[in-house]
Amino acid sequence: MKRMRVKFLAVSGSVLSVLLLLGGALLIKIAGISDIPQAGFPGALLGGRYFLIILGVVLGVASTCLGSTAVEGGLQKKRYFPYLLIAPAMVFLLIFVVYPILNVLFLSFFRGSVQNPTKEFVGLKNYIALSEKSQFIVSVKNTFFYAAIFVTLVIVCSLLMALWLFDDRKINKFSQTAVFTPHLIATVSCAFIWRWIMDFNDYGVLNTVLSLFGISPVPWLESSKTAMWAIIVMNVWKNIGYYTLILIAAMKNIPAEIFEAAVLDNASRTKRFFKIILPMISPQLFVTLILLTIGSFNVFDSVNAMTAGGPGSSTEVIARFIYLFAFGNVNSLGLGCSAAVFLMSIQLVLTAAYFKLLARRVHY
Amino acid sequence: MQEEARRCLRRFIRRLPGDLLKLAIVLCFVFPFYWMICTAFKSYAEAIRVPVTFWPEQFSTDGITSILGARNVDVLQYLTNSVLITFGTILLQMIILIPAAYAFARFRFFGKNVYFALVLLALMIPMQVTYITVYLTMADWNLLGTLWPQILPHGANAFGIFLLRQGFKQVPDEIIESAQMDSASQLQIILQIMVPMCKSSILTIMLFSFVGTWNNYFWPLVMTNSEAVRPLTMMLVRVLDSELGTRWNEIMAANLLIVIPVLLVYVFTSGKIIKAFTYNGIK
């Protein structure tokens, strides 16, 4: 009973200290921008603008100490040792992940540049401007188009490949190695190779090969109709091998008895696929789907290296929009930040939705 | 015996169409690399000649020599940067993630789940979102002209912590307990028991880091503003943007420089790397 009470106290203390730290960070930020004299507030004696932060840290340390007494088991003598072990990792995560997330949210309410990120507070104006900017809307559309086609193609193709290259034969092992290779190569390298292959000039090798089959030259990267497809093809080519290997590994984990039983029951191939293989590999398929979808919204390297958003803006994507506006244009850092917040929210919503929708259907 | 041979032959014929299709697909995946190497060894005139030659008629090292010296590109600088960034990142990650993974795998402490959730959060948030702030932070710290902006932000390898925690959990309790009986310090336990027992996990993480850092293009693009601190992937873009126009044999030669180290690692660790990648995909 006493332990429960101590734990409750420690947890509420920690929550409060996190809130204090957040408030303190905001206070420092705002104090850094405005010219409000700091002497008035809690007083220089109590740390001035750092008052809330100091309070938060003290409260955090105190609650952690308190909470540590309530943890049973483990190495009791070394109560504070694990904190020492995770401290470096946590410091890095705070500086390079947590703070950037909060800061990007903060900066999205300002108009500014890299030199002076918080030049002028504009409230929600960046978001409104974003929703009216045709370049952004096109980028969002293109990104969704890319993500939908890319994810579908990769999932379908890698499933087919996995079924096909499943058996333990030399040629399959060799094919797996070959198909996997592009995954290790830099996206820029692949992008440049494909750009060279898809060259529209007479010496472009893809069009040369296609002409052998009587297909007239296609301006792959120069036409707004085909450019996005060319990028999708490159990315599918690069990623298929990895997911094929994951799915093969998943299929290898299916117990052999289940297959033998199915063969005894004279189950057809399609039936075996839909009733055994698919349900049995669904956890891996599910993870693959989440990783692929989240990843596909970040597409940048291949687009930047193959088309740089062109022709026109037919291959502009969100990540490139953020890049262009955050660093490129004058005083549009906030606009880029608001686009980054948008990108992050899409990914969070999608992840949550996937877990909700699919988790129930997945066989574990 | 004859029966056996006939069955073999029949099976071979039955499988032939499928196997040929497999080879065709393999060709699709290998050809781009072949084409890169092939172009790198052509002269510029031959690279853009019509009809296309599928084997360099005259082996020419024009592309390679012009990358290595004739052109105004300091390859050695880019290469050193790439090597320093890659190994610096791997070293820093190891120093940070081994203790963290050990704590998450072996200790119970107040707030453990929250701290671990932080690690998982880092796995989900893309660098396309975080880089703006990281850039501003690096500018504040006056590090922009150095290699640090390309090393420090990748210090906490969330994926590595996650993976190594899994490995550390599988080390039997008895081994650690007996070490403690022999009054081994925690540092000794980590360095002399945990790390050797999880060698393959650690190697996997290092391989991932190597491939990820060596191939990174986005991060150097947004974090650097002078050629002096840029890695090989950025050299590629510079060769493309040169005033001489798009000289594909030179671009492919530069590409070789990026691809070959990774391919060499792949060849030497072929089975292992495939196993590592697939094993991790499942977890």
Q: Which domains does chain B have, with CATH numbers?
A: 2-62 (no CATH), 71-241 (1.10.3720.10)
> A111 - beta bridge partners?
A120
Whether B70 shows a pLDDT value over 60: the answer reads: no
pLDDT at B72: 65
Whether B9 shows a pLDDT value over 70: the answer reads: yes
- What tens-digit pLDDT sequence spans chain A (364 residues)? 677 888 888 888 888 988 988 888 888 887 776 655 554 555 555 566 777 888 888 888 888 888 877 776 544 566 788 889 999 999 999 999 999 999 999 999 988 888 888 778 888 888 999 899 899 999 999 999 999 999 999 999 999 998 888 887 888 888 888 898 899 899 999 999 999 998 888 788 888 888 888 888 888 888 888 899 999 999 999 999 988 988 888 888 888 888 788 778 877 778 878 888 888 888 878 878 888 888 899 999 999 999 888 788 889 999 999 999 888 777 888 899 999 999 999 998 888 887 777 666 555 4
Contact B221 A304 (CB under 8 A): yes
The pLDDT tens digits for B177-209 are 888 888 888 888 888 888 888 888 888 889 889
Whether B254 shows a pLDDT value over 60: the answer reads: yes
**CA A6, CA A13: separation in Å to the nearest integer?**
10
Which residues of B are less than 8 Å from A248 in CB distance?
A: 278
pLDDT at A75: 47
Which residues of B are less than 8 Å from A210 in CB distance?
A: none
Other Cβ atoms less than 10 A from the Cβ of B207: the count is: 19
The single-letter code of the amino acid at B208 is F
Which two structure tokens, joined as six digits, stand for B57? 């008629």
Asked whether B64 and B253 are in contact (CB, 8 A), the reply is yes
Q: What is the DSSP string of A134-163?
A: HHHHHHHHHHHHHHHHHHHHHHHHHHHHHH
pLDDT at A260: 80
Which residues of B are less than 8 Å from A185 in CB distance?
A: 33, 215, 258-259, 262-263
Which residues of B are less than 8 Å from A84 in CB distance?
A: 99
> Which of A175, A297, A327 shows the shortest C-beta gap to B26?
A175
Residues 46-105, chain A, touching B (beta carbon < 8 A)? 64, 67-68, 70-75, 78-79, 81-86, 88-90, 92-93, 95-101, 103-104
**CA B255, CA B155: separation in Å to the nearest integer?**
27
* C-alpha A161: how far from chain center: 25
> Which of A171, A193, A297 shows the shortest C-beta gap to B255?
A193
Mutation to test the A interface, candidates B11, B14, B92, B109, most A Cβ within 10 Å: B109
Mean pLDDT of B14-38: 88
DSSP assigned state of A217: P
pLDDT band at B282 (very low <50, low <70, confident <90, very high): very low
* C-alpha B179: how far from chain center: 36
Q: Where are the alpha helices (DSSP H) in chain A?
A: 2-33, 51-69, 81-93, 99-107, 125-132, 134-164, 170-180, 187-197, 205-212, 227-252, 256-264, 269-272, 278-296, 301-306, 318-323, 333-359
**CA A137, CA B218: separation in Å to the nearest integer?**
23
Q: Is B20 on the interface with A (CB under 8 A)?
A: no
> A121 - beta bridge partners?
A110
| Omega prior to B51 cis, within 30 of 0 | yes
Quote the Cα angle for A291-B217-B100, to 5°: 55
Other Cβ atoms less than 10 A from the Cβ of A272: the count is: 16
- Among B39-43, B64-68, B269-273, the minimum mean pLDDT is found in B269-273
DSSP assigned state of A328: I
Contact A201 B48 (CB under 8 A): yes
pLDDT band at B59 (very low <50, low <70, confident <90, very high): confident
Asked whether A23 and A52 are in contact (CB, 8 A), the reply is yes
Contact B52 A89 (CB under 8 A): no
Highest mean pLDDT out of A244-248, B62-66, B94-98: B94-98
Mutation to test the A interface, candidates B14, B15, B110, most A Cβ within 10 Å: B110
DSSP assigned state of A216: P
DSSP assigned state of B152: G
* C-alpha gyration radius of chain B: 25
Quote the Cα angle for A319-A325-A330, to 5°: 165
Which residues lie below 8 Å from residue B257, measured CB to CB, with a gap of 6+?
B67, B75, B79, B232, B235
pLDDT at B276: 65
* Residue range A130-359 in CATH 1.10.3720.10: yes
Mutation to test the B interface, candidates A3, A189, A221, A343, most B Cβ within 10 Å: A189
Asked whether B42 and B56 are in contact (CB, 8 A), the reply is yes
Whether B89 shows a pLDDT value over 90: the answer reads: yes
pLDDT band at B281 (very low <50, low <70, confident <90, very high): very low
Every domain of chain A and the residues it spans: 2-113, 130-359
Which residues of A are less than 8 Å from B116 in CB distance?
A: none
Length of chain B in terms of residues written:
283
Residue B235 phi/psi, 5-degree rounding, is -65, -40
pLDDT at B13: 84
Mean pLDDT of B69-85: 83
